[in-house]
Amino acid sequence: MARQSISFTEPNDEWLKSQVDNQEYSSKSELVNDLVRQARKQQAQVDWIRTKLEKAEKSGFTKDGKDEILSQSKALFND
């Protein structure tokens, strides 16, 4: 496993400590690795959506661009 040295702002460090103190995680390293896994999963979902939007845009199904499609999708999701 690769070792890294990173710095956190005081509020972020306090939050990390509280998660470990609450026994949500056994260490800050475990928590940070979990956060990175979540971010990677989220990025994979964003990439998948972006690919689908680009494919739809190129198919001629709509004349809306990807920004308009994304905005409409967000509006439907937030309703």
Contacts of 6 (CB under 8 A, 6+ apart): 32
Is 0.85 topped by the overall pTM?
A: no
At residue 65's C-alpha, the angle toward residues 59 and 66, to 5°, is 90
User: pLDDT > 70: what percent of the chain?
Assistant: 99
Q: Give the gyration radius of the chain's Cα atoms.
A: 19
pLDDT at 79: 63
Q: In residues, how long is the chain?
A: 79
Contacts of 66 (CB under 8 A, 6+ apart): 50, 53, 54, 57
pLDDT at 51: 92
pLDDT at 63: 78
pLDDT at 62: 73
Q: Is the pLDDT of residue 23 over 70?
A: yes
